[in-house]
Structure 1
Amino acid sequence: MGNPTLLTISGSLRKGSYNRMLLREAVAAFGPATIDEGDLNLPLYDGDLEAEKGVPDAVETLANKVKTADAIVISSPEYNKGISGVLKNAFDWISRVDGMPFKGRPTVVMSANAGRTGGETGQFMVMSCLVPLQARVLHGPMLCVASAGDEFDDEGRLNNEQYRKVLAGKMEALRAETG
């Protein structure tokens, strides 16, 4: 098998987000792969919109990326003790696409947050949302980068050795799922 396709999904739309930085670190730790990025700039889920116009093209594109990925990494902030709105919206839309795109896909969930828990509650909610989508979530030590503003250097590299070790282990386990 050639290089696996690794899909990264950030629960933050902000270009300079800590979760995007964490995903870049995950890609580096994963090793050789074809990298694809999920775009969560989607309309809000609306059953009337779906009934009138069907599933939007942007959702179909995202669902196809999920369906064809060999492995998925999701990194999302926690907003007000919960999942980010854009990520929940994406899950809601993807659940409307035929074929269960997430079904059986090896998936790692992690978070980076400015707060002291690193997004732990939000991360649990992301994993809960993946249950009905039937993703194969890899469990193990959670990676919750707390006080994220202090944990990345000026180049956006994760500078905490403990976090880097947990990330390396998660990416090694995810890569093993693609073999």
Structure 2
Amino acid sequence: MSTLDIVGLCGSLRNASVNRAALNLAGSLMPASMQLDVVEWREVPSFDADVFAKGYPAPVQALRERIARADGIVIATPEYNFSIPGAFKNVIDWLSRGEDQPFAHKPVALLSASPGPLGGARVQYDMRRVMLFVNAMVLVKPEVFIGGAGGKFDADGNCTDETTRKFVGDQMKAFEKWIGAVKRMA
């Protein structure tokens, strides 16, 4: 069996983000058949239809190509004002343009971490709606909401909570199976 190429997208740009730590945790708990590549999107400009009319900016084109090559995508994002962080939504807006948008039929797993008790539940529901529109194949269960995340990761971003490690590990095992199921459906 060949290694499954998984792109990781973090909805936060902050290096010390608990969602980046959660994404890294997911990568460390993936089955041996999966390899996570966390892709940065800091250079993606604000969406502008006039710019799009001239073609994709280089950072957008590179991200489109990288996602298109991947077997699956893991998204870990914080919740800003009950929803998707604006800059991250902008990235999705850029990527969704064109007939060959790379989310179509792509397996996606979502997770979120928050200092609050809900663990980013509201952002995940908005992400599911957006991913539905771009025709992504989102893993339904198990859902992972890491509430009280500040107390579950140490200063170096390592998860210190065994229950969280189990939830995230179980999701990554399910994601491996989901990718296989989506490939069989294609």
- Asked if these proteins are the same fold (TM beyond 0.5), I'd say yes
Contact 1:11 1:87 in 2 (8 A): yes
Query: What TM-score, normalized by structure 2, do the two folds share?
Result: 0.89
Contact 1:76 1:110 in 2 (8 A): yes
Contact 1:6 1:36 in 2 (8 A): yes
1:90 corresponding residue in structure 2:
91
2:153, 2:111 → 1: CA distance?
15
Q: Residue 153 of structure 1: SS of its match in structure 2?
A: coil
1:47 paired to 2:28: no
After TM superposition, give the deviation of residue 71 of structure 1 in Å: 1.6
2:183 corresponding residue in structure 1:
none
1:127 corresponding residue in structure 2:
128
After TM superposition, give the deviation of residue 120 of structure 1 in Å: 0.6
After TM superposition, give the deviation of residue 141 of structure 1 in Å: 3.0
1:104, 1:50 → 2: CA distance?
23
Q: What residue ranges of structure 2 are gaps of 5+ in the alignment?
A: 181-186
Q: Residue 174 of structure 1: SS of its match in structure 2?
A: helix
1:146, 1:35 → 2: CA distance?
23
Query: What TM-score, normalized by structure 1, do the two folds share?
Result: 0.92
2:170 corresponding residue in structure 1:
169
2:3, 2:165 → 1: CA distance?
23
Identical residues among aligned pairs (%): 34
**Residue correspondence of structure 1 range 123-162 to structure 2 within 5 A:** 123-162=124-163
1:36, 1:59 → 2: CA distance?
17
After TM superposition, give the deviation of residue 24 of structure 1 in Å: 0.8
Aligned pair count reads 178
2:3 corresponding residue in structure 1:
3
Provide the aligned C-alpha RMSD in A: 1.5
After TM superposition, give the deviation of residue 175 of structure 1 in Å: 1.4
1:31 paired to 2:60: no
2:163, 2:150 → 1: CA distance?
16
2:98, 2:31 → 1: CA distance?
31
1:99, 1:89 → 2: CA distance?
18
2:147, 2:35 → 1: CA distance?
29
Q: What residue ranges of structure 1 are gaps of 5+ in the alignment?
A: none
What are the superposed Cα offsets for residues 111-140 of structure 1, whole Å, 9 maximum, x if unpaired? 011222111101111111101111110011
